[in-house]
Amino acid sequence: MSPSRFTSEHAQQFAEAGLVVVPQLASGQRLRELRGVALTHLAAALAPVEYEADLHYPGAPLSLSAPGGATVRRLLQACARDRVFRDWATGPESAVALQQILGARIMLSQAHHNCVMTKQPQYSSETGWHQDIRYWSFQRPELVSVWLALGREFPENGCLSFLPGTHTMEFARERLDEALFLRAENPLNQALIATRLTPVLEPGDAVFFHCRTLHAAGSNNTTDTKLSLVFSYHSADNPPLPGTRSASPPALAV
């Protein structure tokens, strides 16, 4: 892409909403390479992977030995598993955009996301409303994830929905459950969820979202696997807290 694909309007939209969709961030050639490797690794369930059953989200198989128990949810450690993923994650398409949001020195966290997110027909699960930062430990809650659609993403195949503006809001503890998902029965939460935005992504589109932006996703009710690539970034002056899960493996300079 030309470095100018992420415009000042995109940066402004990100600042206000905590998310922005950038059409066609990845070229067709790049997309074919990324998708080809992702499908090969998925077919072999090449380790390290996370299974749907590991998460116990609604709709997930109950255990690894239950029907559908071998359904992969994430191909983990994308940067280490193949050069094409690392080249994309550290390439100029994301970096030029992220510099406009986070500053000049961008680091890629290998500890969070850093995966091919797969959503497979039949045994995929639903993900409740959450902020990614809830389990991450950095000096400041200022990270940005770049989610690249490797195929079309839409409500029927479990695309992401977002609650715009929530990256700047504070949430009383009682609005969240034990696992820090928004409680669906809370009236304040219900009003907020009514503001949801569900962008349809075409292959090659990317959505940039803040680590405090509430988001959720449905299950895949189509017959085709949905594949996305997602990486998270922070500024070099906002390192992970030493000794936490966020600090290992080490971040990569972008």
Ligand X SMILES: O=C(O)CCC(=O)C(=O)O
Binding site for ligand X (CB under 6 A): 117, 119, 127, 132, 215, 217
In the complex, least distance from residue 3 CB atom to ligand X, rounded to whole angstroms: 28
Closer to ligand X at the Cβ: 217 or 251? 217
Closer to ligand X at the Cβ: 6 or 129? 129
Angle, in degrees to the nearest 10, between helices 92-102 and 8-17: 60
Instruction: Check if the beta carbon of residue 95 is closer than 8 Å to that of residue 72.
Output: no
In the complex, least distance from residue 217 CB atom to ligand X, rounded to whole angstroms: 3
Instruction: Check if the beta carbon of residue 85 is closer than 8 Å to that of residue 35.
Output: no
Closer to ligand X at the Cβ: 106 or 117? 117
Closer to ligand X at the Cβ: 134 or 140? 134
For residue 136, CA distances in Å to 51, 150, 197, 232 come to 21, 26, 24, 11
Name 16's Cβ contacts closer than 8 Å, sequence gap at least 6. 164, 165
In the complex, least distance from residue 177 CB atom to ligand X, rounded to whole angstroms: 16
In the complex, least distance from residue 179 CB atom to ligand X, rounded to whole angstroms: 12
∠ CA 5-231-211, rounded to 5° = 90
Cα 245 to chain centroid distance, Å, stands at 18
In the complex, least distance from residue 99 CB atom to ligand X, rounded to whole angstroms: 23
Closer to ligand X at the Cβ: 1 or 143? 143
Closer to ligand X at the Cβ: 99 or 204? 204
- Report the C-alpha gap between 166 and 192 in whole angstroms: 9
């809001």: which residue's tokens? 169
- Report the C-alpha gap between 70 and 65 in whole angstroms: 8
In the complex, least distance from residue 51 CB atom to ligand X, rounded to whole angstroms: 14
